[in-house]
């Protein structure tokens, strides 16, 4: 009798709201915004730190963070919220409600059901012709539909939310939450070398939460759910500033990322604008970096279409041996009445009309019935 035994692969941890990335094979979770998941190759990998640079005059970064937290609550994840600006009750009371079915339709969209905006142009749904800037016809369109469910659990990978409705009270009460109130920390503590600075305090509380909550990966006791950490406006004027600020901030991000690599956790950190130190070195101590610029402070010809620009400075590379293509092009975001959208930016409206007119003139014997008529 042969002693050969077939080797069976080790089962992956079954965590609701988490799936395996088809690109890297790592576990990833959704941001709550389908179009943002598409930009990040499917979502945020577990064990990563994402930096989101806020706009100076608007609170769009807080809205993106609300999607991040609300998606975690729907998936059954635990939530850790650290802030010096607002309490956890105030933040949670503004979360949007999850809805069943496709993305909610706004009233202005319902009035024109046969036309939709694509890449800054208009597309006739019932027709075959796309009247968009010709140079952008071959660009891929970011997904704005509800993405598929998790391959590891029955929980939907990315839920659908309605900005006009508030989160269900039952879901709020059933979610495990931890609040780190930075506003109670005294700035005088930073002068005492024997005491921890604010970054050491923050790291120790997060480490305790991960250890006691059972979020560390273990072959004997794998985590049953994930932890979502949201740190709001890190190092804003409301935070007590320690001495040697830049050095201690870099150390905090390094140690935090090392801790998360061993845990079923993902962290989103928003950074205020302007930031007290140079942001470029911080990009090397994080896994993904995004930046928001609204048209409230920087007027643009795109104001009639979008609320601002989103820049993807760095995308996650966890589990990737080769280079990752970060050339995603110009991105615009807009807040409709019921949802938040991110799209690739085409030509400005007036330039688009001008470009179409030039193409029509180039045709031989054009009758005006088509873009190019030979």
- Mean pLDDT calculated for residue range 283-294: 94
Domain membership flag for residue 371: no
Residue 156, CA distances (Å) to 17, 74, 147, 265 in order: 6, 9, 8, 18
Predicted pLDDT at 301? 86
Res 219: pLDDT = 86
Number of domains the chain is built from: 1
SS3 119: coil
Q: Is the residue at 329 inside a domain?
A: no
Average pLDDT (44-61) is: 94
Domain that holds residue 261: 18-114+145-321
Yes or no: say if 2 and 17 are a contact pair by the CB < 8 Å rule.
no
Is residue 136 situated within a structural domain? no
**Alpha-carbon distance 31 to 54, whole Å?**
17
| pLDDT at res. 154 | 53
Residue 31 falls inside a structural domain:
yes
pLDDT at 114 over 60: no
Assigned domain for 10 exists: no
Residue 374 has pLDDT above 50, yes or no: no
Q: Decide if 249 is inside a domain.
A: yes
- Residues of the chain with pLDDT > 90, as a percent, come to 52
Helix (H) or strand (E) holding 103: none
Cα separation, 158 vs 192, in Å, equals 46
Average pLDDT, the chain: 80
Does residue 332 form part of some domain?
no
CATH code assigned at 74: 3.40.50.300
Which is nearest to 223 in space by CA: 163, 263, 173, 273? Answer: 263
Stronger pLDDT, 193 or 66, i.e. the higher one: 66
Only one residue has tokens 């036309």, namely: 115
Q: Distance (Å, rounded) from C-alpha 198 to C-alpha 84? A: 12
Going by pLDDT thresholds of 50, 70 and 90, the confidence category of residue 241 is confident
Rounded distance between C-alpha atoms, residue 17 and residue 30, angstroms: 8
Q: What is the pLDDT of residue 319?
A: 73
Tens-place pLDDT, residues 8-46: 444 455 899 999 988 788 899 999 999 999 988 889 999
308: pLDDT strictly greater than 90 = yes
Give the pLDDT confidence score for residue 12 in this predicted structure. 55
Q: What is the pLDDT of residues 124-161, one digit of tens each?
A: 444 444 444 444 444 444 555 544 443 333 567 999 99
pLDDT average, residue stretch 314-333: 74
Q: What is the pLDDT of residue 109?
A: 56
Say how far apart CA 35 and CA 40 lie, in whole Å.
9
Q: How confident is the model at residue 291 (pLDDT cuts 50, 70, 90)?
A: very high
Q: Is a pLDDT exceeding 70 seen at residue 365?
A: no
Q: Is residue 256 scored above 60 in pLDDT? A: yes
Which tops the pLDDT comparison, 372 or 26? 26
Average pLDDT over residues 162-174: 93
- pLDDT tens-digit series, residues 96-111: 999 876 666 665 555 5
The DSSP annotation for 164-190 comes to EEEPPHHHHHTS-EEEEEGGGS-GGGG
Secondary structure of residue 227 in the 3-state scheme = strand
* SS3 (DSSP) at 113: coil
Residue 231 has pLDDT above 90, yes or no: yes
Q: Are the beta carbons of 117 and 126 closer than 8 angstroms? A: no
pLDDT higher than 70, residue 254: yes
Whether 330 is covered by a domain: the verdict is: no
């Amino acid at each position: 009798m042969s002693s050969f035994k077939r080797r069976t692969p080790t089962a992956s941890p079954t965590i609701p709201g988490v799936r395996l990335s088809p690109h890297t094979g790592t576990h990833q979770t959704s941001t709550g915004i389908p179009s943002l998941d598409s930009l990040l190759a499917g979502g945020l990998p577990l064990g990563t730190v994402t930096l989101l640079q806020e706009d100076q005059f608007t609170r769009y970064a807080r809205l993106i963070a609300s999607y991040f937290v609300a998606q975690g609550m729907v998936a059954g994840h635990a939530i850790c919220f650290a802030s010096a600006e607002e309490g956890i009750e105030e933040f949670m009371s503004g979360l949007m409600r999850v809805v069943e079915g496709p993305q909610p339709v706004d009233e202005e969209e319902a009035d024109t059901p046969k036309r939709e905006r694509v890449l800054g142009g208009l597309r006739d749904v019932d027709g075959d012709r796309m009247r968009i800037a010709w140079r952008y016809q071959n660009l891929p369109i970011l997904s704005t539909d509800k993405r598929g469910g998790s391959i590891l659990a029955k929980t939907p990978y990315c839920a659908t939310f309605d900005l006009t409705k508030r989160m269900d009270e039952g879901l709020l009460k059933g979610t495990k939450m931890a609040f780190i109130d930075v506003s109670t920390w005294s700035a005088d503590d930073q002068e005492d070398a024997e005491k921890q600075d604010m970054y050491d305090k923050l790291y120790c509380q997060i480490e305790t939460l991960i250890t006691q909550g059972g979020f560390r990966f273990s072959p004997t006791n794998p985590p049953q759910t994930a932890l979502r950490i949201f740190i709001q406006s890190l190092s804003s004027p409301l935070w007590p500033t320690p001495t040697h600020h830049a050095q201690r901030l870099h150390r905090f991000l390094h140690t935090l990322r090392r801790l998360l690599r061993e845990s079923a956790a993902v962290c989103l950190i928003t950074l205020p604008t302007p930031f007290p130190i140079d942001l470029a070195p911080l990009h090397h101590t994080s896994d993904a970096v995004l930046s928001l610029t609204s048209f409230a402070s920087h007027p643009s010809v795109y104001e009639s279409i979008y609320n601002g620009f989103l820049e993807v400075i760095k995308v996650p590379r966890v589990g990737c041996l080769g280079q990752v293509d970060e050339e995603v092009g110009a991105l615009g975001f807009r807040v409709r009445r019921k949802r938040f959208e991110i799209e690739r930016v085409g030509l400005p409206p007036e330039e688009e009309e001008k470009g179409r007119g030039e193409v029509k003139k180039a045709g031989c014997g054009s009758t005006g019935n088509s873009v190019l008529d030979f």
